[in-house]
Amino acid sequence: MRSLLRKIENYPIGMCGTALGFITLSNCYDNLGFTYIKSVALIFAIIAIYLMVLRGIFYPNKIVEELKNPIAGSFYPTFDMTLFLISASTYSISPLLGKVLWIISVVVHAAIFLIFLGFRARNFKLEYLFPSWFIILVGMITGTIAGKDMGYPTVSKILFLVGLVLYFVAWPFVLYRLFKRRDIKENDMATIGVLAAPASLCILGYFALTDNPNIYLLGVLFVTSIFNLICVYVKMPRCFNKKFDGILAAFTFPLAISNLAILRVANFADFMGYSTWGVILRGAGIAELVISTVVIAYLIINFLILFIKAIINSKNNKENLKTEN
């Protein structure tokens, strides 16, 4: 038991990011009638969250240490973002439990937001700014999407507005870092995957608040989301053309959420009478669904392989100790 707990010490936050992407992707399939995938995704997400909670209980100092890191720390909101989506699914079974989980998620995200930015404010440098910071700055909008039926419309609106403003503030600086300075190290380049998420998250959060969005704001968000997605697809082959690394989880949720956003805008285009655009966008959404599925499946399989290897190694170490004694 102790050896297994020691394995949890290095349990990667990327598992929460992968779970987040898996649940989001399952929502795409759920809309197509493949409802069972969502159940599998929820089970996977609950296990991922449970293991991270255990890590927080037994190794809190390890988490604090990672929160001080400008890259590793920026991925920690994937924990509460996953919990947001779990709360939305739980609400249909138990409204009270769903609300409790949603409120916990709001508090956890606020805490991570303040702690992470507090560490960065002490010694801020532009080279510490990575695309993965959008998880910290804009990830809260997941609460807006999940909170549609929670009964806290003001909180949901605040989450959206703060995330929206921070997206537009941070976006030009992130692009400057990526394409002007070009000083992101090769091992950290996978963080560009997160670039596909913020605008798409804003789009879905906007639709969660209203069925009649401002066409100009929606247009700006959609254009920037497509631009961001193209940037990610251009860089993606380079990131995957090397040995598996947990940082590749940066591609999971962004690809899945951009997929959902495209399909949602396609439905809106149909509603507005632009059926041709609706067909084009829906086709693009289906194509991206295939890509997202392949990427997320690849990451889930590799994370499971690492986890199984850790358990096997733990058992082998026990047997070796018994033999020596």
User: Which of the four pLDDT bands, split at 50, 70 and 90, describes residue 219?
Assistant: very high
Residue that is written with structure tokens 């992470």 in the block: 116
324 occurs within a structural domain: no
Domain span at residue 224 reads: 2-316
pLDDT tens digits along 145-160: 999 889 999 999 999 9
Q: Which of the residue ranges 8-22, 149-163, 168-182, 304-318 would you say has the lowest mean pLDDT?
A: 304-318
Q: What is the mean pLDDT of the chain?
A: 90
Task: Rank 123-132, 282-291, 297-306 by mean pLDDT and report only the highest.
Answer: 282-291
Tell me, what CATH number does 256's domain have?
A: 1.50.10.150
Long-range contacts of 222-228 (CB under 8 A, 24+ apart): 222/261, 222/265, 224/171, 224/199, 225/196, 225/199, 225/200, 225/258, 225/261, 228/195, 228/196, 228/198, 228/199, 228/258
Whole-number pLDDT of residue 229: 95
Tell me whether residue 157 is in a domain: yes
- For residue 178, the model assigns a pLDDT of 86
CB 74 within 8 A of CB 116: yes
Is the predicted pLDDT of residue 320 greater than 60, yes or no? no
What percentage of residues in the chain have a pLDDT greater than 70? Answer: 94
Q: Report if residue 23 sits inside a domain.
A: yes
151: left (phi over 0), alpha (psi -120 to 50) or beta: left
Please determine, for residue 81, whether its predicted confidence score (pLDDT) is greater than 80: yes
Tell me whether residue 281 is in a domain: yes
Considering only residues 5 and 40, tell me which one the structure prediction assigns the higher pLDDT.
Answer: 40
Is 206 contained in some domain? yes
Indicate the number of domains in the chain.
1
322 in a structural domain: no
User: Is residue 325 situated within a structural domain?
Assistant: no
Is residue 323 in a domain? no
pTM: 0.91
